[in-house]
């Protein structure tokens, strides 16, 4: 996945992850727990990597510019809720509870929808400006892209 800006890169990853979540729901609706589990495992790996990139490469700079109790803290709290939901869904998939999985997936999709909107409209544009002013935007983008390439190897 190549992009010209951090926002483009991370927003593209949001769309990819949304697709994997939709694939999970579709598989469950079709009654294929095995296919749902495979799609969700890809989603889980991807969302964990995505959140890790944001927390390691973006949010520390955001903290420096806005303070540790600013918007970055709210994003971290939401990341925790997202990851908790992901773990719960993985458990429900493992126990073959289709109805509970669909319920939890719906909750996660709603949480991600609002979270992603905040990131795309506020966090990413501000982070781009902060990193550009520090002369670090291109380096951070390259590090994000490199992390994905290293993971694929």
Question: Tokens 């109805």 sit at which residue?
Answer: 99
Contacts by 18-27, CB closer than 8 A, 24 or more apart: 18/112, 20/46, 21/105, 21/108, 21/109, 21/112, 24/105, 25/102, 25/105, 25/109
The CATH number of the domain holding residue 104 is: 1.20.120.520
Longest dimension (CA), the chain: 51
Question: What range defines the domain where residue 134 resides?
Answer: 6-152
Identify whether 1 is part of a domain.
Answer: no
- Per-residue pLDDT 10s for the chain (153 aa) are 556 899 999 999 999 999 999 999 999 999 999 999 999 999 999 999 999 999 999 998 888 877 777 778 889 999 999 999 999 999 999 999 999 999 999 999 999 999 999 999 988 998 899 889 989 899 999 988 887 666 555
Identify whether 43 is part of a domain.
Answer: yes
Do the beta carbons of residue 119 and residue 77 sit within 8 Å?
A: no
Q: What is the pLDDT of residue 77?
A: 96
Identify whether 44 is part of a domain.
Answer: yes
Identify whether 74 is part of a domain.
Answer: yes
Identify whether 125 is part of a domain.
Answer: yes
Indicate the number of domains in the chain.
Answer: 1
Label residues 99-108 b or e (16+ Cβ within 10 Å = b).
Answer: eebbebbeeb
Identify whether 113 is part of a domain.
Answer: yes
Q: Please give the model's pTM, rounded to 2 decimal places.
A: 0.92
Q: What is the pLDDT of residue 134?
A: 86
Q: What is the pLDDT of residue 13?
A: 94
């Amino acid at each position: 996945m190549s992009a010209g800006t951090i926002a483009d890169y991370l927003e593209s990853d949001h769309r990819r992850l949304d697709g994997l979540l939709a694939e999970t729901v579709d598989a469950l609706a079709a009654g294929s727990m095995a296919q749902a589990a495979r799609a969700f495992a890809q989603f889980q790996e991807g969302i964990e990597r995505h959140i890790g990139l944001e927390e390691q490469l973006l949010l520390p700079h955001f903290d420096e510019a806005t303070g540790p109790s600013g918007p970055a803290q709210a994003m971290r709290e939401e990341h925790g809720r997202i990851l908790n939901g992901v773990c719960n869904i993985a458990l429900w998939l493992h126990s073959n509870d289709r109805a509970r999985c669909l319920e939890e997936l719906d909750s996660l999709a709603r949480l991600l929808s609002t979270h992603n909107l905040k990131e795309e409209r506020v966090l990413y544009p501000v982070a781009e400006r902060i990193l550009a002013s520090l002369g670090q935007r291109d380096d951070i983008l390259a590090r994000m892209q490199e992390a994905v390439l290293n993971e694929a190897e």
